[in-house]
Structure formats: C-alpha cells, structure tokens
Copies of this chain bind each other. A is one copy, B any other.
Amino acid sequence: MPKIVDAGARRQEVVEAVFRIIASDGLERASLREVADEAGLAVGSVRHYFASSDELLVHSFAVVIDRIAGRLEEAFAVVESLESGSAEHDAAVLTLLGQFLPLDEELAVDACVWMAFRHAARIRPVLEQEAARSHRAVAAVVGRLVMRLMPDGGSGQDRLVTEAERLLATLDGLCMHALLQPEWMTAEVCRDVLTAHLDTLVALPSNR
C-alpha cells in the first residue's frame, strides 16, 4: 500500500492558503501557482487534491460558509439558553451579531473571504449554488433572532421578513465598511450601531 496521507487535513491546509491569499491579495490572485506557493507545495500536488481550480475555489467557499454558519449557530444557542431581556441575554445577542464583523484577525480573514466569494458568485456560475446556501443559512439565523427579539414575537409575516432583512442589510453594510474603510469604522462604532439597531427593534414605533 502507498504512502498514507490524511487527505482531509492536506485539503484543509490548501484551503487555509487560499484564505490567506484572498485576504491579503484578493480572489483574483488565488491562482493554482500562488496557492501552491503559499501552501509550500507544487502545482501538481495541489491538483492531486483538487481536480481543478474551480473545485478548489468552490470547496474553499463552502468551508468559509460552514465556519461562519457554525459560529452563528453556536452563538445563537447561547442566546437561546438565556432569559429573554436579561443583561446577559443582550450581551449574547451582541456577541452573536459580532460574529459577522472583522473584529479580530480570524474573523477578518473569514469576512474578507466570504465577501469576495459572494461578489464573485454574481458572475461565476460555479459559485452560485454555495452563495444561495450561504444566504439561506445566515438569513435563517437572523430570522430566528428577530423573531425572538421583536416585542410581539414576530407576528405578521411581512413585518418579520422586513425586520430580518433590515438587520441583515445593516450587518452586511457594517461588515463591508469595516473591511473597506477600517480607518473610519472602529469596533466602537460597530457596537454603537448594533445597539442602536437593537433598540429600534425592541422599542418599535407605535405609528405603524
């Protein structure tokens, strides 16, 4: 029998190289040669684990989606375990929403990669399916969160989707600004914006 290598671990190493390249040089620089160099391998080796450049990128997209979705589910479980309205509950909600933002090094890389792939998916059909999955996964968590936070528990289907989309848009917008204009967008501003949004969600205006 042949040389035994943990294929899954090798693939993961290559994916990590892809992440580093996208975060520092953008998706268009994530070529097979660049990735191989970054991973300390030869092009042929990378191609042994990924049949083509497309498969490598699609798999990388899937991995970053799973990482983000996993963090969200984990943080949402914490929120659900706490009493609604308590101070710990509110803090856990902020922690959950913070998982979208590039607040530390690891989150920043994931946010970069996530954004890059989602925008690339507008053009590249191979990424379309994963982009849809990404959207569904995140929208599901945000929808459940809004249902939990809204005073009437989200009665009124259309009102619920509006508020879910409103929170989702704010999150993506904050993430974008934090990535593209970090000098104008500190972590403090992010937190202030999020708490302000949550206030508007809980204390809904009565004129509607």
Binding site for B on A (CB under 8 A): 25-26, 28-29, 115-116, 118-123, 131-132, 135, 139, 158, 161-163, 165-166, 168-174, 176-177, 179-181, 184-185, 189, 192-193, 196-197, 199-200, 202-203, 205-208
Contact = CB atoms under 8 A, between A and B. Distances in A.
A119 B175 CA distance: 12
Nearest to A162: B192
B179 A173 contact: no
A174 B158 CA distance: 17
A179 B135 contact: no
Contacts of A174: 169, 173
A155 to B, nearest CB: 16
Contacts of A176: 169, 172-173, 176
Contacts of A177: 165, 168-169, 172
A147 to B, nearest CB: 16
A116 B122 CA distance: 11
Contacts of A169: 169-170, 173-174, 176-177, 193
A180 B122 contact: yes
A141 to B, nearest CB: 15
Given A169-B174, A173-B172, A120 B26 contact: yes
